[in-house]
Amino acid sequence: MQFYSDEAIEQVYKMRHAIEDVKAILNDLNDDKIIMKERTVLEVPGTQNTMLYMPCINTKSNYSILKTISIFPENKSKPVSQGVTLLSDLTDGTHIANLESSYLTRLRTGAMSAIATDKLAKQGAEVLCVIGTGGMAFEQVLGVIEVRNIKTINLYNRTYEKAKDFKQRLEDFGVTSDIQVFDDVTEAVKNADIINCATRSEESVFDHKDLQASVHINGVGSYLPEMREIDTISIKHADTIVLDDLHGAQHEAGEFIQAEQDGHFDFNQATLLKDLTDKNKTEGVTIFKSVGAAYYDLAVTTGAYKLLNA
Amino acid sequence: MQFYSDEAIEQVYKMRHAIEDVKAILNDLNDDKIIMKERTVLEVPGTQNTMLYMPCINTKSNYSILKTISIFPENKSKPVSQGVTLLSDLTDGTHIANLESSYLTRLRTGAMSAIATDKLAKQGAEVLCVIGTGGMAFEQVLGVIEVRNIKTINLYNRTYEKAKDFKQRLEDFGVTSDIQVFDDVTEAVKNADIINCATRSEESVFDHKDLQASVHINGVGSYLPEMREIDTISIKHADTIVLDDLHGAQHEAGEFIQAEQDGHFDFNQATLLKDLTDKNKTEGVTIFKSVGAAYYDLAVTTGAYKLLNA
């Protein structure tokens, strides 16, 4: 059974592939072809460490996955989160391959934001603001620049030096937008058409009053009930709020859980990514919030495997 | 990440290793070092096919496993059951290796029967009767001959030719006992000191009245509520009944579920394999019934990995 490392996958499987594969899985989801069970969480006693197991099957493509993620917050020499996904063939039960899952997880999250941004951001959007330049942020930028002609990228990070490193990394990758690093988030957001938030913050990372009247926000941080990054006022005044997965968001999307408790938001009134059409309003405040779900992993794991074996 | 095939594992990891590793995990279980969650079952709609996911962690050895098994009853060219186990290191969350799991599953089941047989069969036991010479049967024999000096092996299978092939396979492997093939199960069991049942039968595979007064029975078939292989009268009259895992047996051990419903047996009165001591009664009828549990897989997966990397 073949194993594919992050590096091997990254060489062949790109953002544009992930966007196509995630779009296809959203159709499969609407066609009731996806079966996903509640993830299993095993906490390691006496530690902060957790093992997560996420199974999912696609009865249209006839593949299944089991994604295993270890989350070890106090890791120093190894990454905090380490993932691997087993791909199995549902035509005969064969276990085909294991794919390392750090790159694929970041890529599918970027692809999800790309799809939401494409449907919700104004057509002429050209200024992207990035708040938080850590783990997930890079592929979030790659997603947005795939769907809009971004001329300027404003970077803000709590640690200024890390934002500078991030600018360098984007430039090294070949991103041709004009990239500015800010030490004041107010300045970074004020002319933004699109804002990407990817932080581990426990409070809002921008102030709603600093935003343009029409802005699209992607939030991929805030994956625990006690976290928040999108300002509650933005949630309250948003024209459209889109979630990647209702069940996951209800249990993990910190600022939305809080906003619902405070009476500013109702999960059952939100739109799901799978239900977005091309006829959405692209004016006012639009928000896409993602926490992840196994079917998105299924989409990119299957897609990457096929491309690696094409 | 390394992958080890059944063939690679079989070359270095033997019954005697599995017995030691299963004994060790029983101690860890008694020391509350094992955390196992309910397995996840995903049924593939419109088919008889099932995906099973079994996670387990050992906080003493600091390893975790996730065993994935596909069960495709109508498979022709591929095995009905195909398994692979992911081994992870709980000191830093690293995913270490994948081990193919058909051989390891058969071996750990044989090792469990070996441990039970060692504690429950009479010391001078020398005649082993094997009922059912399919999938699990071979390692069941290897387990028993590891713990008793077996002089004669009586084989019975519904299809006589398959029992003859099984005799050849044992001889090729180097088993030196005198091996007889029977076409009448009554003849096969009547002088047996130990009986191994490994069938998919839905009715008793022997008649209690044909048994010796002192006999030890290992039952590893009958893994669904509608199955049964051990005669209910033997369950009713048994001096000792030992289960590998209470929760699993209550949901899967067909003839015992039926016997409890009929008032002949009480799961809560049974002894668990982890609680067996050297002071058990070895006279009368003793029964060991196993259905499997993820911690047994954890034991042999970890043990095999270590030996493969020694």
pLDDT in tens, B104-113: 999 999 999 9
Task: Encode pLDDT of B57-82 as tens digits.
Answer: 999 999 999 999 999 989 999 998 99
Please check whether the domain covering B2-104+295-308 is classified as CATH 3.40.50.300.
no
Does position A279 have pLDDT exceeding 80, yes or no? no
- At residue B282 the predicted structure's pLDDT band, cuts being 50, 70 and 90, is confident
pLDDT value, residue A275:
96
Of the candidates A213, A214, A187, the one whose C-alpha atom is nearest the C-alpha of residue A131 is A187
- At residue B222 the predicted structure's pLDDT band, cuts being 50, 70 and 90, is confident
Set of chain A residues whose Cβ sits within 8 Å of the Cβ of B94: 70, 78, 82
- Measured CA to CA, the distance from residue A206 to residue A185 in angstroms comes to 7
pLDDT value, residue A6:
97
Q: Which residue of A has its CA nearest to B94?
A: A82
CATH number of this structure's domain B122-293: 3.40.50.720
B8–A contact, CB cutoff 8 A: no
- Measured CA to CA, the distance from residue B230 to residue B241 in angstroms comes to 12
| Stretch(es) of chain A classified as CATH 3.30.1780.10 | 2-104+295-308
CB contact under 8 A, A77 and B94: no
pLDDT value, residue B135:
83
Signed CA dihedral, A162, A164, A170, A174: sign only: negative
CB contact under 8 A, A92 and B72: yes
Task: Encode pLDDT of B235-264 as tens digits.
Answer: 999 999 999 999 999 999 999 999 999 999
Q: Which residue has the tokens 């076409």?
A: B183
Among A98, A101, A298, A301, which would you mutate to test the B interface (most chain B Cβ atoms within 10 Å of its Cβ)? A98
- Measured CA to CA, the distance from residue A63 to residue A56 in angstroms comes to 9
What architecture (CATH level 2) is domain A121-293?
3-Layer(aba) Sandwich (3.40)
| Stretch(es) of chain A classified as CATH 3.40.50.720 | 121-293
B35–A contact, CB cutoff 8 A: yes
Q: Which residue has the tokens 């509650």?
A: A232
B301–A contact, CB cutoff 8 A: no
Of the candidates A108, A162, A118, A163, the one whose C-alpha atom is nearest the C-alpha of residue A140 is A108
Looking at the complex, report in whole angstroms how far the Cα of residue B53 sits from the nearest Cα belonging to chain A. 8
- Measured CA to CA, the distance from residue B177 to residue B111 in angstroms comes to 19
Set of chain A residues whose Cβ sits within 8 Å of the Cβ of B58: none
A60–B contact, CB cutoff 8 A: no
Residue contacts between A and B (CB atoms, under 8 Å): 117
A139 and A113 Cβ atoms separated by less than 8 Å: no
- Measured CA to CA, the distance from residue B295 to residue B32 in angstroms comes to 12
Max CA distance (Å), chain B: 57
Angle of the A15-30 helix axis to the A102-120 helix axis, nearest 10: 70
- What residue type is assigned to position A86 of the chain? L
CB contact under 8 A, A57 and B78: no
Geometric angle at alpha carbon B124, from B121 and B128, rounded to 5°: 65
Q: Which among B45, B71, B94 is the nearest to A78, CB-wise?
A: B94
- At residue A239 the predicted structure's pLDDT band, cuts being 50, 70 and 90, is very high
- Look up residue A145 and give its two tokens: 């620049």
B144 and B117 Cβ atoms separated by less than 8 Å: yes
Set of chain A residues whose Cβ sits within 8 Å of the Cβ of B63: none
**What does the mean pLDDT of chain B come to?**
96
| Stretch(es) of chain B classified as CATH 3.40.50.720 | 122-293
Q: How many CB atoms lie within 10 A of CB A1?
A: 15
Does position A281 have pLDDT exceeding 80, yes or no? no
Does position B281 have pLDDT exceeding 90, yes or no? no
- Look up residue A294 and give its two tokens: 């196994």
CB contact under 8 A, B1 and A100: yes
pLDDT value, residue A230:
96
- Measured CA to CA, the distance from residue B162 to residue B168 in angstroms comes to 10
Of the candidates B206, B248, B249, B251, the one whose C-alpha atom is nearest the C-alpha of residue B229 is B206
Does position A81 have pLDDT exceeding 80, yes or no? yes
Q: What's the residue count for chain B? A: 310
Looking at the complex, report in whole angstroms how far the Cα of residue B300 sits from the nearest Cα belonging to chain A. 20
pLDDT value, residue B310:
92
pLDDT value, residue B38:
86
pLDDT value, residue B16:
98
Of the candidates B121, B172, B181, B180, the one whose C-alpha atom is nearest the C-alpha of residue B145 is B121
User: What letter would DSSP give residue A130?
Assistant: E
A209–B contact, CB cutoff 8 A: no
